[in-house]
Amino acid sequence: MDVIVADYAGFCSGVARAVKMAEGAPKPVASLGPLIHNRQVVEALAAEGVRPVATLEEVTEGAVLLRSHGVPPQVIEEAGRRGLRVIDATCPFVRRAQKLAAELADAGFEVIIVGEPEHAEVRGLVEWAKGKAVVVPSAAEATGLSWHPRRAVLAQTTQSRATLEEVVEVLRPISGEVVVHNTICDATRRRQEAAVEVARQVEVMVVVGGKDSANTRRLAELCRQTGTPTYHVEQAGEMDSRWFKDVRRVGVTAGASTPAWIIEEVVNMLEKEQVQVLEEEKAPEGGEVPEAQEEANRPEAPAPEETPADQEMTAEQMEKGLPRLRRGSIVTGTVVQIRDNEVLVDVGAKAEGVIPLNELSYRPFTDPSEVVSVGQEVQVMVLRPENEEGNPLLSKKRADRRATWDRLEAAFASGEEIEGEVTGVVKGGLLVDVGARGFVPASLVERGYVEDLNAYVGRKLRLRVIELDRAKNKLVLSQRAILEEEYEKQRQATWESLEPGQVRKGIVRRLTNFGAFVDLGGVDGLLHVSELSWGRVEHPQDVLSEGQEIEVKVLGVNREEGKVSLGRKQLLPNPWDTAEEHYPVGSIVEGKVLRFAPFGVFVEVEPGVEGLVHISQLADYHVERPEEVVSIGQTIPVKVLKVDQEAQRMSLSLRQALREKRRQENPRPGGRRQEEGGGETGTGVKLGDLFGDIFGTQ
């Protein structure tokens, strides 16, 4: 029975750091809760003087050790009030998530935490979010949430990436804005991937770790999903020999809180199990092993890597001091000749290596000189150490492919940004060339919806690897992930710098009946329709268009609610500042009727300047309602009776303007004009103006 231990099994860096801090702390020291999710380690540390306590009330003096899962901020404050020295062993990944939770809550987001509600790390994150957090363990739970204008998503550090992405997809249709922070520990992802890879190669899988460890339970769940029988144990003594009956290959992995000595115990017991099985398969004492059983017990021969001819060539190479060429190995050579149907490369062998044209590059070319040049150093894969003519058969294409996948795997692990050129459009997204063919789903091209994907063909995108399966040649990439991160950084910087009174440039993103939303750099501010212009604006689209860059003044900032109010008219000349000069008393101008009031009508003489025509100044007869005389939108002449520039008020008269117009049209003989409906005094003041109310003429 072969035992395969998965890579990355056991302590992660955060847990190892916490244990090391506990071991180095002055004893005795109190650990606030179990330091890690492993009973054996906690008991071993307790024997050394690291005493677990449930609350700070149990600690009267000395130091308190904060566990790797972190604690709420109130606990740290309480420890300070009690005069306790705090040794913070919080995992750096958890600490980053705590900081994000606090910042996002302060920025007005509803914080969605993808994780187990009762997990210590998640309970702490809820407190760091200051009561503005909702814990969502799965996509199914997320469907029950109502619409919210601004949401930010974090994940428990041991959560799976798939669950995080599923929850985000559910949230997008029921949220105005969704900001995603991938707070999953990269070591967790690598451990999960390595465990699944081993589970697919074996007949039985053993997952070692605490039963209350979320990341260990998740490991077991992922291994079971491969269809391989999987057993979760805390220590070697829990294993049952019946699990391994007739099993030839067993895989082992362990959670982040499992020490190496427990993993070693499990492996040792499995190896003893193997010996026991072999002993049971021996023939009875004094008997002979049946031929069929002898054949079955004979170990399988390893798959041959080299042919006898390859071995002979290797011996000759060793004798002459030449490098050993093995099938599948990557070697460096120098291009010595380019022919029509092949490229010759010096790899230090007894003969020059040959690269057939179909092994030169995965990209199309018409001439091999487009790919390589004489004297160029290239990496090649050995397909055969020697062909029929005695030359090594090489492939540059396959060496490039291996190097590319190595680079992509490193980029996947680190989150590094890569660049790729769009080569085509397929159903649901884009094909990109990043040294290997990758796929960018349409939803991951930009932050918003992309209407025409064909416009991206030939363009280079900034990409991040979000899914990779080398065995299946599966490579999924996202440009949106990078843009979202940059947008969030820009948004945070904008929030920190926004202050009332500032004049800033912005882009009009959306127009509504009540105003325009202007992007100030990751933060949208509302430019209300009343703040667009000194004049009356019926709809923002009358003066603005989406995508237009404008200057605005910051009128107010509400960080708690995430609201910014803007003004544009404040940056334009106020027409009231020159109203007395432009509209002297007694002058007659034209204006547009804007609206009715019970006491008269408001008339706009220029955008931003309007005056009141009192109902008594509408006509030379008694008027019950303004609409008897004028209509909305009508252009009428008015006479300026009074201008109060400071109060921004103006009194106007339609009746007197019409009188003036009639006098001009019908002058009296001898140079005097006869006014209908009344005479004039010698001073030019009309009697109707003085006594109109008495005579009922106003």
How large is the average pLDDT for residues 438-448?
A: 91
| 654, 611 contact by CB (below 8 A) | no
Q: How many CB atoms lie within 10 A of CB 462?
A: 15
Of 571, 596, 628, the last residue of a domain is 571
Q: Write the burial class of residue 673 (CB in 10 Å: 0-12 exposed, 13-18 middle, 19+ buried).
A: middle
Q: Is pLDDT of 685 > 60?
A: no
Q: Dihedral through CA 631, CA 633, CA 638, CA 643, nearest 10?
A: 120
- Residue 309 pLDDT greater than 60, yes or no: no
Catalytic residue among 23, 61, 78, 121: 121
The yes-or-no answer on residue 121 being catalytic is yes
Which string of b and e fits 315-335 if b means at least 16 CB within 10 Å? eebeeeeeeebeeeeebebeb
Please state the rounded mean pLDDT for residues 283-290.
Answer: 38
- Residue 312 pLDDT grade (very low, low, confident, very high; cuts 50, 70, 90): very low
The CA distance from 113 to 133, in Å, is: 7
Whether residue 584 is found in the same domain as residue 677? yes
487 and 505 assigned to the same domain = no
pLDDT band of residue 453 (cuts 50, 70, 90) is: very high
**Are 390 and 341 part of one and the same domain?**
yes
Instruction: Look at residue 589 and tell me if it is in a domain.
Output: yes
Q: For residue range 179-223, what is the model confidence (pLDDT) as tens digits? A: 999 888 777 888 888 899 999 989 999 999 988 888 899 899 999
> Does residue 229 sit in the same domain as residue 126?
no
Final residue of a structural domain among 532, 553, 571? 571
- One domain for residues 141 and 245: no
User: Quick check: is 245 in a domain?
Assistant: yes
Structural contact between residues 478 and 439, judged by C-beta atoms closer than 8 angstroms: no
**pTM metric for this prediction:** 0.40
* pLDDT at position 279 over 50: no
Tell me the mean pLDDT in the region 395-420: 89
Q: Residue 166 domain-assigned?
A: yes
Highest mean pLDDT among 32-41, 128-137, 256-265: 128-137
Tell me, what's the pLDDT at 378? 93
Say what the pLDDT of residue 190 is: 82
The one-character DSSP state at 435 is S
Mean pLDDT to the nearest integer, 437-444: 92
Give the pLDDT confidence of 360-396 residue by residue, as tens digits. 987 788 899 999 999 999 999 888 888 878 889 999 9
pLDDT, tens digit, 9 for 90 and up, residues 60-109: 888 888 888 888 999 888 888 888 889 988 888 888 899 999 999 999 99
3-state DSSP call for residue 313?
Answer: helix
Is 481 a domain residue?
yes
Q: Which amino acid is at 439?
A: F
**Cα dihedral across residues 244, 249, 254, 258: positive or negative:** positive
**253: its two tokens:** 């992995």
Least Cα distance to 369 among 400, 338, 399, 348 occurs for 338
Residue 284 maps to a domain: no
User: Mapped to the 3 state alphabet, what secondary structure does 448-503 carry?
Assistant: CCCCCHHHHCCCEEEEEEEEEEHHHCEEEEECHHHHHHHHHHHHHHHHHHCCCCCE
The range of the structural domain enclosing residue 642 comes to 575-695
Q: 670 — alpha (psi -120 to 50), left (phi > 0) or beta?
A: left
Asked if 252 and 193 sit in the same domain, the reply is yes
Q: Is the pLDDT of residue 226 over 80?
A: yes
Do 18 and 82 belong together in one domain? yes
| pLDDT at residue 668, rounded to an integer | 66
* Bridge partners (DSSP) listed for residue 481: none
278, pLDDT greater than 60: no
Output the average pLDDT for the chain.
Answer: 83
Among the candidates 464, 497, 530, a domain finishes at 497
pLDDT at 438: 92
- For 634, which DSSP code? -
